[in-house]
């Protein structure tokens, strides 16, 4: 079953780095990245901007086939996450499935990330926070989409 998570990063370029890491994991079949949206709020901008469906690549046929075979992140979800942003931050909204928790953990080791939204169960979120050291709202080192 697909999971939807949103991760906030310090810095406006950190979300781009996360997308590259997720794409590498997807290429290695360690996570099934179904859709990704990136949100950035540059320090002196009036508000955040978003780029949806950043994993869609290739020719039109390939993009259409992938789009029809996978769910997409709803635009209302992206707008909701924008409300959780602050100047100088970026975020990734991730729709994924079949994550290898150990591989994803290694890929994001040392990254300062905060889970800000998810459709994970309370138990799954608690487990992710215990695993990655989230101490009551501090910036945790959590990889995106840690299904249990």
Domain that holds residue 89: 3-132
Give percent above pLDDT 90 in the chain: 45
Q: How confident is the model at residue 124 (pLDDT cuts 50, 70, 90)?
A: confident
**Residue 137 maps to a domain:** no
pLDDT of residue 108: 86
| 29-53 tens-digit pLDDT | 999 999 999 999 999 999 999 988 8
**Residue 120 maps to a domain:** yes
Other beta carbons within 10 angstroms of residue 13's beta carbon come to: 11
**Residue 139 maps to a domain:** no
Q: For residue 123, with 0-12 CB atoms within 10 Å meaning exposed, 13-18 middle and 19 or more buried, which class applies?
A: exposed
Total domains, the chain: 1
Lowest mean pLDDT among 4-8, 61-65, 84-88: 61-65
**Residue 143 maps to a domain:** no
Q: How confident is the model at residue 69 (pLDDT cuts 50, 70, 90)?
A: low
Is the per-residue pLDDT at 141 higher than 70?
no
**Residue 65 maps to a domain:** yes
**Residue 97 maps to a domain:** yes
Q: Which helix (H) or strand (E) holds 27?
A: helix 14-27
């Amino acid at each position: 079953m697909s999971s939807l998570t949103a991760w906030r990063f310090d810095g406006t370029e950190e979300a781009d780095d996360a997308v590259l890491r997720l794409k590498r994991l997807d290429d290695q079949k360690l996570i099934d990245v179904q859709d990704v949206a990136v949100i950035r709020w540059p320090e002196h901008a009036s508000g955040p901007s978003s780029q949806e469906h950043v994993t869609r690549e290739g020719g039109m046929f390939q993009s259409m086939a992938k789009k029809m075979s996978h769910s997409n992140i709803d635009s209302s979800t992206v707008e909701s996450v924008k409300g959780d942003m602050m100047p100088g931050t970026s975020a990734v909204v991730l729709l994924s499935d079949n994550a290898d928790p150990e591989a994803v953990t290694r890929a994001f080791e040392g990254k300062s990330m905060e889970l800000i939204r998810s459709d994970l169960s309370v138990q799954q979120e608690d487990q992710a926070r215990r695993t990655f050291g989230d101490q009551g709202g501090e910036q945790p080192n959590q990889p995106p989409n840690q299904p249990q």
